[in-house]
Structure 1
């Protein structure tokens, strides 16, 4: 579902606000910005609405002769107005920061946050990437709680020859081992390999459950609610050539896969799956990242995004071995009733009950 209702406009303190944001204006801003990720495009919101119970609540702001900006928002469908959440984005959908052709003036940034603070919703949240202009951080009202993250990004500016040199020696050795082992790699941009990717993702869920001491049935229920097959199919169908599934097979059997998305100068590693006991000895996962990064360089991308992970975790160490650096990034949340805190307390209690082991 693209729109939640008729488009409305209002003028607040000289700021014209239109919701949902006009598609042409939003797409124009995303195309003009070198900072915008694929997760900040209107098509990404369409994927969210098509695969979960959300409506388009995006807001387009115009102020004087500025080019305007869009705050992507998805509103939970079917909840009472005062309990509903409006997020950019819902959990596991990534960065949904404001989209603008250039950084807004401080007055405009403050006005946008003040407008978001007034929305008749229990929760409003916006997630910024590490490339966000400092003007946003300085404009956050006290009503918003700051949520810190560490986002890992590999700079591709020097081309693949330079990137290869940034790989740790262990990574280069792993790549050569995968190549010598005879790993077969296929890349698909039509969605054909999504089912194979998802089957490997299910193997990863089982492995993560075992590592975390989480009952497998609970892990599958939880992860499949967050990442159902239709989510990946929808993204692949929507973005076509901009969504690549890289699949590694060994002796005729799929053993590892990654999904990589592209928009402008940004390539984004999104999800992966593998049969670890088969993929690790031949370093199939590392080989896939090498090939996807090489492809991103060849197609003119400047950055390869690895997403968030806690510093010093095994996941962040893997990203650093591939040359990525961790950068601070922030989300901001305004909430009236502490439903998020209550949910976190409940989840924490369940984790303690089952002996869940954090990464």
Structure 2
């Protein structure tokens, strides 16, 4: 992994161990050697206790971030084509790959016509030049002002990599579930149930145990109460894995801006090159928030290889259920 300058914490052995340790998945990663020192690993997991012909192999599974290739060099289109062919011949009913967004054009060029591509959008901040350069040249003036406002208002911040802030983060995450329920016109209990199944507190504790110092929670307090927190993974690149807040408390205090600034500064000072701010989807407000820190948008795709049209059927069923309950996508 350390030979690949683009590798993300999501692609690390410790992250794969976290997925498998939570139960329900087993490691089925693939290794590719094209000679001349060009070799690659595809982190891949499949459901435990399920026959391959009924199973889905994922890089990575839902709510576990981005997978795709890591290797000794940037892959050629011909090599990616060979990898697509290898994956197609595996016995799984379906294989899902979410590659590094920065490699989006390369994967698109190699995609066979038989592979389904689901469009995605992510934002990535380039830390080249160090934090002072990022602060003055990439942060917008509004973002710098928001950070200064938070500091002037006395917003208190703290970071921790041992799990002490996990209860604070998780309580804010549950409040975020409630906010999303109202925004999406979804029953609150259903949103909390889905959120708790996707992101139980045990999941985050497992990640902390497996990644150690490579995992850090940044939190902010407004008027003595927890207002915002982010769950960040940092190796030689960074993944902002999850964010949560109490919007009423955050208000216009700049608390979110301040903890993002501190996490970015920490990463830049540690010599990290890229700060992956995660999926933005179709949310213009989320995209704007990330762009204010200088993060650039990357259009890429999730690739699905399947023997039966499960994805289209699943999408149709989900759309029908959303119409019935009046669900509003963010």
Normalised TM-score (structure 2) = 0.94
How many aligned residue pairs are there?
Answer: 329
SS at match of 2:277: strand
Alpha-carbon spacing, 1:135–1:246, altered in 2? closer, same or farther (3 Å): closer
Structure 2 gaps, min length 5:
none
SS at match of 1:346: helix
In structure 2, how many angstroms separate the alpha carbons of the residues matched to 1:316 and 1:114?
34
**2:58 maps to 1:83:** no
Alpha-carbon spacing, 1:106–1:345, altered in 2? closer, same or farther (3 Å): closer
SS at match of 2:300: strand
Offset from partner CA, 1:113-165 (integer Å, 9 cap, x none): 11100111110121112332855443332321122211101111122222223
Alpha-carbon spacing, 1:90–1:219, altered in 2? closer, same or farther (3 Å): same
The match for 2:34 among 63, 71, 86 is 63
In structure 2, how many angstroms separate the alpha carbons of the residues matched to 1:90 and 1:63?
27
**2:154 maps to 1:193:** no
Residue 110 (structure 1) shift? 2.5
Contact 2:105-2:300 at 8 Å conserved across structures: no
Offset from partner CA, 1:311-341 (integer Å, 9 cap, x none): 5621111111121110122221111122222
- Larger mean Cα displacement after TM superposition, 239-248 or 322-331: 322-331
SS at match of 1:82: helix
Q: Relative contact order (C-alpha < 8 Å, sep 6+): which is higher?
A: 2
**2:229 maps to 1:244:** no
Structure 1 gaps, min length 5:
1-29
Residue of structure 1 in register with 2:24 after alignment: 53
Residue of structure 2 in register with 1:233 after alignment: 205
Offset from partner CA, 1:291-319 (integer Å, 9 cap, x none): 11111111111221111113562111111
Offset from partner CA, 1:72-120 (integer Å, 9 cap, x none): 1110123333220001011121211111111345543332211100111
The equivalences for 1:96-111 within 5 A come to: 96-111=67-82
Offset from partner CA, 1:49-88 (integer Å, 9 cap, x none): 1224111110112234434211111101233332200010
**2:246 maps to 1:287:** no
In structure 2, how many angstroms separate the alpha carbons of the residues matched to 1:326 and 1:249?
30
Offset from partner CA, 1:187-206 (integer Å, 9 cap, x none): 10112211211111001110
Residue of structure 1 in register with 2:174 after alignment: 202
Computed over aligned residues only, the root mean square deviation of the Cα atoms, in angstroms, reads: 1.7
SS at match of 1:281: coil
Contact 1:86-1:124 at 8 Å conserved across structures: yes
**2:202 maps to 1:257:** no
Contact 1:129-1:330 at 8 Å conserved across structures: no
Contact 2:230-2:240 at 8 Å conserved across structures: yes
Residue of structure 1 in register with 2:298 after alignment: 327
Alpha-carbon spacing, 1:289–1:230, altered in 2? closer, same or farther (3 Å): same
SS at match of 2:53: helix
Residue of structure 2 in register with 1:20 after alignment: none
In structure 2, how many angstroms separate the alpha carbons of the residues matched to 1:77 and 1:315?
35
In structure 2, how many angstroms separate the alpha carbons of the residues matched to 1:302 and 1:90?
25
In structure 2, how many angstroms separate the alpha carbons of the residues matched to 1:323 and 1:200?
26
Alpha-carbon spacing, 1:281–1:137, altered in 2? closer, same or farther (3 Å): closer
Residue of structure 1 in register with 2:15 after alignment: 44
The equivalences for 1:1-359 within 5 A come to: 30-132=1-103, 136-165=107-136, 166-264=138-236, 266-310=237-281, 313-359=284-330
